[in-house]
Structure 1
Amino acid sequence: MNMERLNKVLKEMEAANTPQMLVSDPAAIFYLTGKWIHPGERMLALYINLNGNNKLFINELFPVTEDLGVEKVWFNDTQDAVEIVSRYVEKDKPMGVDKNWPARFLLRLMELKGGSTFINGSAILDRVRMCKDAAERDLMREASRINDLAVDRMIKLIPEKHSEKKMGQLLLSIYEELGAEGYSFDPIIAYGANAADPHHGCDNSVVKEGDSVIVDIGCVKDSYCSDMTRTVFYKYASDKGKEIYNIVLEANRRAIDIVKPGVRFCDIDAAARDHISAHGYGKFFTHRTGHSIGIETHDFGDVSSVNTDRVQPGMIFSVEPGIYLPGEVGVRIEDLVLVTEDGCEILNKYDKELIIVE
């Protein structure tokens, strides 16, 4: 177990009057133990108790031989795994349960531990994970460094007129060459009118002169994710395309400029959204301004109009305003920012000025 991280979680559990908790999310278990275990439909749970009686409940199908700093409790496919867990759960004490734990397991535990109070314990661990420690920050910097190199290669491939789908396939090879483990999410390569769909799925479309091209990509490196978006134009950019690009770029910069400890996420969102709205395109900015990122591409927390939480040093999130005109053109510019003690560090270094690919 990473004791520094565990102690942070225990401190938050105590403050939240949650003496015990079950963690089932593989990403959260990796965060605390350094071990990835993907259980599929089988039960996996890390039990944390303020009294130190921590256990990892794991199916014999997953032969974890290394010492993870926590006692392993084994079970097999013929046993009632939840009943085994229930032997360690303290009745009549509040019980934090992972938000991702399947209902079939939770309902069984509630049946066995009637009278206990069950609460969503994920908020405790999620908020601890939001503030990255020094090691995590370096891992995020490296993942973004690789992503910068990858986006440069992708943009240079545009004149070869590969389909969006083929570009996505080529990206996987690029990531492997650069030392990444693979995608952090399915890439979005969108030409022309397809770029007006923020979550366009790559299809057989081929780039045409005058198209805006959205390249929204991310990789996983040493279990940490990157994510960035650049929008370029092929051969030329229309006056409308240039106008929209410059508005989005300024929105991106205005939002990043106010990022520092104590600023509310909703105010960061407003810095981007208000600029776009002032130019008459507010209704075409159809998503939140950003999301937290780390072990998962979408960690807990977002940059949205309804999130009044204040940013803290160590948080990493995206700033990705966009304008999408259906049937015409789409522009999105996305960077990851790391909150520092007095401002922020932009993890992406790739140029954001308007690029026309010849």
Structure 2
Amino acid sequence: MKLNRLEKVLSGMKENNIHQMLVTDKISIFYLTGKMISPGERLIALYLNTNGDHKFFLNELFPVTEDLGVEKVWFNDTQNAIEIVSNYIDKNATIGIDKNWPARFLLSLMDACPNCKYVNSSFIIDSLRMCKDDEEKDLMRKASQINDMAMVKLQQALLEDLTEKEMASKLATIYEELGADGFSFSPIIGYGPNGADPHAHPSDAKVKVGDCIILDMGCIKDNYCSDMTRTVFYKEAPQKAKEVFEIVLEANKRAIALVKPGMRFCDIDNAARDYITEKGYGKYFTHRTGHSIGLETHDMGDVSAINTDVLKPGMIFSVEPGIYLPGEFGVRIEDLVLVTEDGHEILNKHTKELNIIK
């Protein structure tokens, strides 16, 4: 167990009067134990109790041989895992449950322990994960460095006359060659009008002269995620698209310039949104300005108009304003930003200035 993280979780439990908790999300289990297990439909659970009586419930299908600093309780596919878990639970106390635990497990536990009070306790670990320690910061820098290198190679591939789908496949190969562990999310590659859909899926479309192209991509390296968007032009940049590009770029820069401890997430969103609105494109900026990122592409926390949480050192999130004109084109420019003790650090080093691929 990572004792410094465990101690913070136990402290958070006590503050919220949650004396026992089942951690069942594989990412949060990894955060606390350093062991990544993908259980599929099977149950895994880390039971934490403020009295120190912790257990790790594991299916024999996942042979964890190393000492994780917590007692392991084993079961197999023919046994009732919930019944085994329930034997260790204080059946007359509040118990914290992960926000995404499948109903088939939760409902069974509620039947087995009807006198427990069930509460969502994910926020305790999720809030800790928002602020990265030094090791995590370095891992995030490393993932973003790979993403920077991949962006260079992907933009070069635009000259190979590939479809959006073929570009996505090309990116998978590029990541493998650069030592990444795979995609952190399915890439968004949008030529021309396809880029006007903020979550476009790669299609069979081929690039045309004058196309404004969105390249939104990220990889995983050592369990940590990267994410970056660059908008480029093919052969030439039409005047209207160029003007929209410069508006989005300025919005990105204005928002990032405000990032420092003590600012609020909504302040960052307002900086980008107000500028785009001032330029007449407010209704075409259809999403929040960003999201937190780390072990997952979308960690807890976002850069939105309604999030009044204060920025703290160690937080990492995206700043990705965009303008999307249906039937014409879209522009999005995204960087990952780390909050430092007295300001910020931009993790992406690849240029975001206007770039015409020739």
TM-score band by shorter chain is over 0.9
**Match of 1:49?**
49
Tell me which amino acid in the other structure corresponds to 1:186. S
Deviations 1:167-186 (A, max 9, x none): 11111111111111111111
Deviations 1:119-151 (A, max 9, x none): 001011100111001100000000000100000
**Match of 2:318?**
318
**Match of 2:97?**
97
Unaligned runs of at least 5 residues, structure 2: none
Q: Note the C-alpha offset of 1:110.
A: 1.3
Bigger shift: residues 101-110 or 346-355: 101-110
**Match of 2:40?**
40
3-state SS of paired residue (2:13): helix
Map 1:264-283 to 2 at 5 A.
Answer: 264-283=264-283
Q: Note the C-alpha offset of 1:336.
A: 0.2
Q: Note the C-alpha offset of 1:91.
A: 2.2
1:176 maps to 2:208: no
Q: Aligned partners of 2:160 and 2:180: how far apart in 1?
A: 24
1:355 maps to 2:355: yes
Deviations 1:286-331 (A, max 9, x none): 1111011101111111111111111111010000000000010110
Q: Note the C-alpha offset of 1:105.
A: 1.1
Q: Note the C-alpha offset of 1:92.
A: 2.2
Map 1:4-19 to 2 at 5 A.
Answer: 4-19=4-19
Tell me which amino acid in the other structure corresponds to 2:27. A
Q: Aligned partners of 1:198 and 1:284: how far apart in 2?
A: 11
Q: Aligned partners of 2:239 and 2:163: how far apart in 1?
A: 26
3-state SS of paired residue (2:63): coil
**Match of 1:331?**
331
**Match of 1:258?**
258
TM-score, with structure 1 as normaliser: 0.99
Tell me which amino acid in the other structure corresponds to 1:165. K
**Match of 1:290?**
290
Bigger shift: residues 87-96 or 265-274: 87-96
TM-score, with structure 2 as normaliser: 0.99
**Match of 1:133?**
133
Map 1:68-217 to 2 at 5 A.
Answer: 68-217=68-217
Q: Aligned partners of 1:243 and 1:88: how far apart in 2?
A: 63
Q: Aligned partners of 1:179 and 1:152: how far apart in 2?
A: 15
* Residues paired across the two proteins, number: 358
Q: Note the C-alpha offset of 1:157.
A: 1.2
3-state SS of paired residue (2:246): helix
Q: Aligned partners of 2:51 and 2:243: how far apart in 1?
A: 60
Q: Aligned partners of 2:308 and 2:260: how far apart in 1?
A: 14
Q: Aligned partners of 2:110 and 2:261: how far apart in 1?
A: 40
Q: Aligned partners of 2:156 and 2:114: how far apart in 1?
A: 61
- Cα RMSD, aligned residues only: 0.8
**Match of 2:66?**
66
Q: Aligned partners of 2:94 and 2:23: how far apart in 1?
A: 14
Tell me which amino acid in the other structure corresponds to 1:32. L
Q: Aligned partners of 1:35 and 1:284: how far apart in 2?
A: 43
Q: Note the C-alpha offset of 1:161.
A: 1.3
Q: Aligned partners of 1:254 and 1:76: how far apart in 2?
A: 55
3-state SS of paired residue (1:183): coil
Q: Aligned partners of 1:300 and 1:342: how far apart in 2?
A: 23
**Match of 2:248?**
248
Q: Aligned partners of 2:110 and 2:215: how far apart in 1?
A: 47
**Match of 2:26?**
26
Q: Aligned partners of 1:39 and 1:160: how far apart in 2?
A: 40
Q: Aligned partners of 1:111 and 1:144: how far apart in 2?
A: 46
3-state SS of paired residue (2:167): helix
Q: Aligned partners of 2:354 and 2:252: how far apart in 1?
A: 13
Q: Aligned partners of 1:313 and 1:11: how far apart in 2?
A: 20
Q: Aligned partners of 2:240 and 2:103: how far apart in 1?
A: 50
**Match of 1:230?**
230
Tell me which amino acid in the other structure corresponds to 2:110. M
Q: Note the C-alpha offset of 1:261.
A: 1.0
Q: Note the C-alpha offset of 1:246.
A: 0.5
Tell me which amino acid in the other structure corresponds to 2:342. D
Identity of aligned residues (%): 65
Tell me which amino acid in the other structure corresponds to 1:142. K
